[in-house]
Each structure stands twice: as structure tokens, then as C-alpha cells.
């Protein structure tokens, strides 16, 4: 794996509700028996886990406090490559308060590989994300949170990644409301079609999701999809890459029937599948 999480067992969080709800990374608090939160004003609190989402590496915890100041979220869809961005966090656990670093948004919609699985639709930034920054905010120059710092590229300088606010906000709501995130499952694994793959396997199409595995008795299998088919649309909406595909898929509810457009043996086809619930872990 090329991408390494910056830390496990320590990190940064941001207060998202005045009554003590705090957002951080899943990998910061996973398997924790005790969680201690140190505030910038010197107060310390014990915290409990409210909800975890491994798929987006997000977690919500809660401390016993009221009337706390909170962050505000911005519209990450309005960000463009080259926009200024600021990271704030407990970098290297240095004394004297949070560390603030300035950089730019280097890219949007990135997919990165980690030891815990792939993360999609990430914001890439060259603002320094050091050990201890995980779970801290990536903010715009208006002070609005546009991302949650998550991972750094272990083999280079100036390449960090944050979960976008657009991805995080519905996850936060679900974790607070129910303690987990219910997602639909289509029952397949896939990768982005690239020019090299299209040429090597004579796919007959330049963009889409190349199916690499189909779950036995899953929705995709029951719909007739097979390995080496290429999915090009869900209910008519294009799926040029995995970020698009998952973004569309996760908008549906468990039990819904969707139309899948795909290419099989260079021939366009259409099938319908009924989505089931994806296991949480």
C-alpha cells in the first residue's frame, strides 16, 4: 500500500455540536478502551464513541460538556485546484496549542489506497499533514471546514488527503442519529477502466467500472453481471470511475431496484438489480 495513515491512537478532532459531539478519524479511536480529549483551553474530558464508519475513516465521539464553540462546514464542491487551504491539528503533540499550516488544494476526487481499504472522492492538498493531524480540519480562507485530514503519502513530500465535507456531512448525521451508516450493497468489486486496460482486454469502451469480482448470490450475480463486464451507468447516470459509481450507489436505499447499464463481451446490455444492506465492517 502506498498511502499511510498518519497515526493511530492519537490525533485531532473538531467540535461539531455545542453539546459535546466531536468528529475525528476512525483509525484514531478504533479499538480504544479509553478516550481522553484535551481542549485548547486546558480542560480534559473522557469521551465515549457514538459511531464509527470504517469505509470513510470517520468517527463521532462525545464528551460531557455544554455550550461549546463549534466548527462550520463549507461547500467542498465549490473548491477548485489551486484554492488556498489550511490544516489545523495536534501535529507531533507539540506543546503550545494547535499547529496551523498553509497550502493549496492540489486535486479533487482522488482515490487512495490504504491498509484499511480504498478511500474515494478525497481532497488532495500540499498543506502539511503530520503525525497527530488526523481527524483535524482542512479549512478554506473563510474558516469553513472543507475536509477532514486523513492520510499522507508516505513516499513523497507535500501530498496529503482529506475526506471532503460533502462526503462527511451525511456520515456525521447518520453516526449521531443511529451509531452507524446503512449503505446498499450491489455485490461486486471493480476498478476504473484505463486506456491500458481497455486495450489489453479489448473491452470496447474507454470509461466505466471493470468488474473484478462478483459475490455469489449477491444482487450483481442475480442480475447476470460477471467478471470483465464494464458498468457504464446506474439508472442512466454515467459511472466513469469508482468515485462516481459509489457516489451514485450510496444515494439509493436498501431494497431499491436499479437499472444497470453495462458492456459485456463488447456488447451493450441492461439489467436490473435489487440492492441489499452492506455489512458495517
Backbone angles phi, psi at 157, to 5 degrees: -100, 145
Determine whether 265 is an active site residue.
Answer: no
154, three cell numbers: 508516505
**Helix, strand or coil, per DSSP, at residue 168:** helix
- How far apart, in whole angstroms, are the C-alpha atoms of residue 89 and residue 11? 8
What H or E segment, with its residue span, contains residue 61?
A: strand 58-63
Contact 160, 128 (CB under 8 A): yes
Helix %, strand %, coil % of the chain (to 5) = 15, 40, 45
Determine whether 134 is an active site residue.
Answer: yes
Per-residue DSSP letter, 93: G
Per-residue DSSP letter, 142: T
Catalytic residue among 57, 121, 229, 241: 57
Catalytic residue among 76, 106, 134, 164: 134
Determine whether 213 is an active site residue.
Answer: no
Cβ-Cβ contacts under 8 Å for 184 (sequence gap 6 or more) = 249, 250, 252, 253, 254, 256, 275, 276, 277, 278
Work out the widest C-alpha separation in the chain, in whole angstroms.
64
Catalytic residue among 27, 76, 121, 164: 27
Give me the active site residues, please. Answer: 27, 57, 134
Amino acid at each position: 500500500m502506498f498511502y499511510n495513515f498518519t497515526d493511530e491512537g492519537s490525533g485531532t478532532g473538531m467540535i461539531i455540536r455545542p453539546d459535546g459531539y466531536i468528529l475525528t478519524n476512525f483509525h484514531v479511536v478504533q479499538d480504544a478502551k479509553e478516550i481522553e480529549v484535551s481542549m485548547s483551553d486546558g480542560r480534559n474530558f473522557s469521551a465515549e464513541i457514538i459511531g464509527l464508519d470504517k469505509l470513510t475513516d470517520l468517527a463521532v465521539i462525545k464528551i460531557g460538556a455544554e455550550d461549546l464553540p463549534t466548527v462550520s462546514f463549507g461547500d467542498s464542491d465549490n473548491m477548485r485546484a489551486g484554492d488556498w487551504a489550511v490544516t489545523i491539528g495536534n501535529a507531533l503533540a507539540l506543546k503550545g496549542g494547535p499547529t496551523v499550516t498553509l497550502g493549496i488544494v492540489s486535486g479533487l476526487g482522488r482515490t487512495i489506497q490504504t491498509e484499511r481499504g480504498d478511500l474515494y472522492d478525497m481532497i488532495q492538498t500540499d498543506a502539511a499533514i503530520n503525525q497527530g493531524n488526523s481527524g483535524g480540519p482542512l479549512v478554506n480562507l473563510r474558516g469553513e471546514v472543507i475536509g477532514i485530514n486523513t492520510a499522507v503519502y508516505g513516499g513523497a513530500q507535500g501530498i496529503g488527503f482529506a475526506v471532503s465535507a460533502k462526503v462527511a456531512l451525511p456520515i456525521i448525521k447518520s453516526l449521531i442519529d443511529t451509531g452507524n451508516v446503512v449503505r446498499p450493497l450491489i455485490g461486486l468489486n471493480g476498478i476504473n477502466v484505463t486506456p491500458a486496460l481497455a486495450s489489453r482486454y479489448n473491452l470496447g469502451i474507454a470509461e466505466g467500472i471493470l468488474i473484478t469480482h462478483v459475490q455469489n448470490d449477491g444482487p450483481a450475480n442475480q442480475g447476470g453481471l460477471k467478471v470483465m463486464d464494464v458498468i457504464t451507468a446506474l439508472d442512466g447516470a454515467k459511472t466513469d470511475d469508482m468515485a462516481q459509481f459509489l457516489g451514485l450507489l450510496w444515494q439509493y436505499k436498501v431494497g431499491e431496484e436499479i437499472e444497470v447499464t453495462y458492456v459485456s463481451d463488447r456488447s451493450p446490455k441492461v439489467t436490473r438489480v435489487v440492492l441489499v444492506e452492506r455489512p458495517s465492517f
